[in-house]
Amino acid sequence: MFARYSKMYGKPKALGYVVIRLRLTVFFVLVGIAMAQRPQMRVANPVAGEGIAVVLQSGPTFTKLLTDILDDEAVKKIAPLVPRTLIVVNESGRYIAGLTVIFTYPDRISSSGMPWRYITHRTAHYAGHEAMVAPGDALLFTPLPGFSATFRPTAGRLRQPVLDAQMDTFLQSYLEDEATSNVEAAIDSVIFDDGTLVGPDSANRLESLNNKFRANDEVLRAVDGLRGEELHKQLLFYSTLNLPAPSKYTQERSRIATGLLSSFEAGGEASALQWIRAMHVKIIGPITRRDK
């Protein structure tokens, strides 16, 4: 680590060198305390054969990746969560349009009778590699909502967590409520840029994304060429079309139409039409499962 700093910035001055060592020392002390107090996380990676690598705190490259992905402030913030943090590296040589990670608490049973889960996604809904996970990208996932990040070797830090008072509240609440809970993590699914999905997909991303894409197309066809009051009436109609017996698909269709209707009523016809034009961008769907 220190050799890396020397290579990047030249021989460090005495004070700067001490500061760097102090920061790392404090970080590792905090990590040691966290590891001693919290159960270790079990991780399943059923898509390892697709070139999706998972790096945990016990891995030899974890610290380097963590400091590449996050700045100093974020590294300090995440210290208590390091035992429950995983870094996913895209070693597939392909662009990834969607990736789902599930954190499961086997000792916490939800009202449905199943263990409580936190599901987090990274999804690029539209075709085009700009928003996708590129080959070589490293993604950081934690069970804390909003605390995720992305590093690209050719571009540096991309997506970063927002370190504000709300994040502090989330972190404190999590540490108070879940500090002694058992937790398991799993890569649930990966969607490549050709629309093929691999993995168990217990979160039903194939169904939910295809519902979104179908509903998007149906609403676009329904409002094609409409303007003014006709456009408003059609959006109002589709926003309530999921009644009286809604399905996941009709709920998604209603959500899209309701969003357009809100845009129309807040910003006028021009605002709704701008959104409609954006919806015409080529999507990655439909998503298909690739069986081995």
Contacts of 65 (CB under 8 A, 6+ apart): 55, 87, 89, 138, 151
Using the 3D structure, point to which of 202, 233, 258 is the last residue of a domain: 202
- One-character DSSP codes across 74-123: HHHHHGGGGGG-EEEEE-SSS-EEEEEEEEEEEEEE-TTSSEEEEEEEEE
Q: Read off the pLDDT of residues 130-187 as tens digits, 9 standing for 90 and up.
A: 889 999 999 999 999 999 999 999 999 999 999 999 999 999 898 888 877 899 999 9
Cα 69 to Cα 74: distance, rounded to the nearest angstrom: 9
- Predicted confidence at residue 127, as pLDDT, reads 76
- Predicted confidence at residue 177, as pLDDT, reads 84
- Predicted confidence at residue 241, as pLDDT, reads 81
Residues, the chain: 292
- Predicted confidence at residue 139, as pLDDT, reads 98
Using the 3D structure, point to which of 180, 202, 224 is the last residue of a domain: 202
- The answer to whether the CB of 149 falls within 8 A of the CB of 85 is no
Contacts of 38 (CB under 8 A, 6+ apart): 83, 84, 179, 180
- 220 plus 192 within the same structural domain: no
Number of structural domains in the chain: 2
- Please check whether residue 189 lies inside any domain of the structure: yes
Q: What is the pLDDT along the chain (292 residues), one digit of tens a residue?
A: 323 333 333 444 455 545 554 555 555 455 445 545 556 789 999 999 999 999 999 999 999 999 999 999 999 998 988 999 999 999 999 999 999 999 999 999 989 999 999 999 999 877 789 889 999 999 999 999 999 999 999 999 999 999 999 999 999 898 888 877 899 999 999 999 999 999 999 999 999 999 999 999 999 999 999 999 999 999 999 998 876 778 999 999 999 999 999 999 999 999 999 999 988 887 787 899 987 5
- Please check whether residue 129 lies inside any domain of the structure: yes
What's the pTM?
0.81
Structural domain range at position 142:
39-202
- Predicted confidence at residue 234, as pLDDT, reads 96
Cα 7 to Cα 5: distance, rounded to the nearest angstrom: 5
- 87 plus 189 within the same structural domain: yes
Q: Which of 41, 14, 51, 65 is nearest to 178 (CA)?
A: 41
- Predicted confidence at residue 143, as pLDDT, reads 93
- Please check whether residue 44 lies inside any domain of the structure: yes
Q: Read off the pLDDT of residues 49-71 as tens digits, 9 standing for 90 and up.
A: 999 999 999 999 999 999 999 99
- Predicted confidence at residue 259, as pLDDT, reads 96
Instruction: Using the structure block, give the residue that is written with the tokens 């149906």.
Output: 218
- 147 plus 243 within the same structural domain: no
- 191 plus 210 within the same structural domain: no
- Predicted confidence at residue 33, as pLDDT, reads 56
- Predicted confidence at residue 37, as pLDDT, reads 56
- Please check whether residue 4 lies inside any domain of the structure: no
Using the 3D structure, point to which of 177, 202, 227 is the last residue of a domain: 202
- Please check whether residue 159 lies inside any domain of the structure: yes
Look up residue 204 and give its two tokens.
């039903």
Cα 77 to Cα 97: distance, rounded to the nearest angstrom: 29
Start-to-end CA distance of the chain, whole Å, equals 41
- 175 plus 72 within the same structural domain: yes
- Please check whether residue 9 lies inside any domain of the structure: no
Sign of the dihedral through C-alpha 292, 87, 207, 253: negative
